Amino acid sequence: MKSVLADFVGCVVNGLVSRELAQEWVDDLTYLLTQQAISAFELQFTQPDGSRGAFRYDVSDDGSLFEAASSGGQRLHLLPSGTKASIYVMYRAGVQDDVREEMRKRGWGRGTRVDGTATRERAYSKDGYGLIRSRIGEW
């Protein structure tokens, strides 16, 4: 999660989210990942005109991922002023009700995935477990 946190810091530096919210996202995602509750999550960007883009982080937990790229390279400075960032998670089938309830208590609600083709950019892993980051949308 250190590399993902660094990606989130890019959002803070570019004024897309507060430092506190970025830390909450890391805490919440760490909880979900340790519960093996999600298959992926998206760091989404909604521009003032309503267009959306995202980074999708696909979970790789089958022991096959050994790539450890550096964080960054997001080009967030290209997003127009007024762009807002948010997080969307994709739960795995059969996730425990208590996990969903915990996320509701933490203020998580409903959302939608960003449509579009995902272009793989980099991956973050340790000991065969990690996340594959892809860019979605033209931005």
| Residue in 93, 134, 90, 103 with CA at minimum distance from that of residue 25 | 103
Query: How far apart are alpha carbons 116 and 113 in whole angstroms?
Result: 9
Question: Is residue 109 predicted with pLDDT exceeding 90?
Answer: no
pLDDT tens track for 48-77: 999 999 999 999 998 888 888 888 788 899
pLDDT at 41: 97
Query: How far apart are alpha carbons 133 and 14 in whole angstroms?
Result: 19
- Can you give the C-alpha Rg of the chain in angstroms? 15
Q: Where are the domains of the chain?
A: 2-136
Domain 2-136 has CATH 3.40.50.720: no
Question: Is residue 28 predicted with pLDDT exceeding 80?
Answer: yes
On the 0-12 / 13-18 / 19+ scale of CB atoms within 10 A, 51 is middle
Q: Which residue would you say has higher pLDDT here, 138 or 51?
A: 51
pLDDT over 90 percentage in the chain: 74
Q: What is the pTM of this model?
A: 0.90
CB 44 within 8 A of CB 88: yes
